[in-house]
Amino acid sequence: MVSIDTYNACVDFPIFDAKSRSMKKAFLGAAGGAIGRNQDNVVVVEALSDVNLHLREGDRVGLVGHNGAGKSTLLRLLAGIYEPTRGTADIRGRVAPVFDLGVGMDPEISGYENIIIRGLFLGQTRKQMKDKMEEIADFTELGEYLAMPLRTYSSGMRIRLALGVVTSIEPEILLLDEGIGAVDAAFMAKARDRLQALVERSGILVFASHSNDFLAQLCDTALWVDHGKIRDAGSVPDIIESYEGKGAGDHVRRLMTRMEEEKNA
Ligand SMILES: Nc1ncnc2c1ncn2[C@@H]1O[C@H](COP(=O)(O)OP(=O)(O)OP(=O)(O)O)[C@@H](O)[C@H]1O
């Protein structure tokens, strides 16, 4: 069974070299988690506090919130990269963390070899990646460059390769942190379809994004993360409306209606 359960999970980052003078006036700014002190009087950033999350097979959840609200920290907690400082996080299922498209890529080896390595990094086997190789190679449209070392690629070419691999896997839990940047528009349209298909065959999706259109396309529900806490939970348009206002909520509602009509057409 695939599941995510966190109980009052907190993640603190101790900052041993923080200047105490500047900390005297610590207050909750618009961006970032609360800054406090732990029992040893060390300055800590409270990146997440008392997060209770219960997700099951089929859940597609978007995370919205200001810079430094705790979205990436929450994804890293769910990926097992961070342990909760207090509380618990119980994650069942094979996790594919897609935070940085370039992670696990080696500039000195070929595109083909990088496809295998990146796949292993995402929990796939060598055999699975070899079976998918042709299809991934086609998608990237990189042709003979695939036999060349990755260092000869432009940044957009690297993203094509990384997206080709990421969207080819079968994850039980897919953790996605936007960062899908510099590819040309035609390629992005192709990648969106593949991303949609990836999400559909994933057990659980948690997706942190500042793009309302992307959230509307990939998620059913959303969480507003604010200063390390879950401030609100609900449908994607409702949460975007609470977070950004009525205009943004209505835009997402219209977009979702249009997508639904296109699906049924
Ligand atoms: N390694 C770290 N050491 C210290 N503080 C950190 C570390 N990583 C994150 N933080 C702090 O934790 C808080 C949450 O950061 P996080 O990266 O999770 O935010 P986010 O919601 O993903 O932001 P953004 O939308 O800007 O990517 C911030 O206050 C940040 O300063």
Distances in whole angstroms, Cα of residue 200 to Cα of each of 58, 114, 169, 170, 239:
8, 25, 12, 10, 22
Distances in whole angstroms, Cα of residue 110 to Cα of each of 104, 145, 149, 168, 183:
13, 8, 4, 18, 20
Spacing, Cα 142 to ligand 1 middle (Å): 35
Residue pointed to by tokens 């897609």: 98
Q: Which of 9-18, 100-109, 252-261 has the lowest mean pLDDT?
A: 100-109
| Predicted confidence (pLDDT) per residue in 72-83, tens digit | 999 999 999 999
DSSP letter, residue 37: E
Count of the separate structural domains present in the chain: 1
Burial class, 248, CB count within 10 angstroms (exposed 0-12 / middle 13-18 / buried 19+): middle
Spacing, Cα 128 to ligand 1 middle (Å): 35
Going by pLDDT thresholds of 50, 70 and 90, the confidence category of residue 163 is: confident
Closest atom of ligand 1 relative to the 74 alpha carbon: 18
Spacing, Cα 49 to ligand 1 middle (Å): 13
Let me know if residue 46 belongs to a domain.
yes
Closest atom of ligand 1 relative to the 11 alpha carbon: 12
Mean pLDDT estimate for the chain: 89
Spacing, Cα 211 to ligand 1 middle (Å): 18
Q: Could you tell me if the ipTM is greater than 0.85? A: yes
CA triple 54-56-60, angle to 5 deg: 95
Q: Is 73 in the pocket of ligand 1 (CB under 6 A)?
A: yes
Q: Is 70 in the pocket of ligand 1 (CB under 6 A)?
A: yes
Q: Is 209 in the pocket of ligand 1 (CB under 6 A)?
A: no
Task: Report, as an integer, the average pLDDT of 214-239.
Answer: 95
Task: Report, as an integer, the average pLDDT of 174-200.
Answer: 77
pLDDT for the residue 29: 61
Which helix (DSSP H) or strand (DSSP E) does residue 213 occupy? helix 212-218
Percent of the chain with pLDDT over 70: 92
Q: Is 112 in the pocket of ligand 1 (CB under 6 A)?
A: no
Let me know if residue 239 belongs to a domain.
yes
pLDDT for the residue 141: 94
Let me know if residue 47 belongs to a domain.
yes
Let me know if residue 164 belongs to a domain.
no
CATH code where residue 72 lies: 3.40.50.300
pLDDT for the residue 188: 74
The protein residue whose alpha carbon is closest to atom 5 in ligand 1 is 13
Let me know if residue 190 belongs to a domain.
no
Question: Which of the pair, 102 or 156, is modelled with greater confidence?
Answer: 156
Per-residue pLDDT at 183 exceeds 60: no
The protein residue whose alpha carbon is closest to atom 20 in ligand 1 is 68
pLDDT for the residue 126: 95
Q: Is 65 in the pocket of ligand 1 (CB under 6 A)?
A: yes
Spacing, Cα 69 to ligand 1 middle (Å): 7
Let me know if residue 146 belongs to a domain.
no
Phi and psi at residue 209, in whole multiples of 5°? Answer: -155, 150
Query: HSE-up of 255 (CA within 13 Å, CB side)?
Result: 18
Q: Is 13 in the pocket of ligand 1 (CB under 6 A)?
A: yes
| Predicted confidence (pLDDT) per residue in 14-72, tens digit | 888 776 555 544 555 667 777 888 888 888 899 999 999 999 999 999 999 999 999 99
Q: Pairing mode, if any, of strands 229-235 and 221-226?
A: antiparallel
Per-residue pLDDT at 209 exceeds 70: yes
Going by pLDDT thresholds of 50, 70 and 90, the confidence category of residue 249 is: very high
Spacing, Cα 22 to ligand 1 middle (Å): 19
Whole domain around residue 87: which residue ranges?
A: 3-94+203-264
Going by pLDDT thresholds of 50, 70 and 90, the confidence category of residue 1 is: confident
Of 199, 197, 201, the residue nearest 61 (C-alpha): 199
Question: Which of the pair, 186 or 166, is modelled with greater confidence?
Answer: 166
Which helix (DSSP H) or strand (DSSP E) does residue 135 occupy? helix 126-140
pLDDT for the residue 121: 86
Spacing, Cα 233 to ligand 1 middle (Å): 21
Closest atom of ligand 1 relative to the 66 alpha carbon: 25
Spacing, Cα 73 to ligand 1 middle (Å): 6
Let me know if residue 251 belongs to a domain.
yes
Let me know if residue 130 belongs to a domain.
no
pLDDT for the residue 30: 62
Going by pLDDT thresholds of 50, 70 and 90, the confidence category of residue 179 is: low
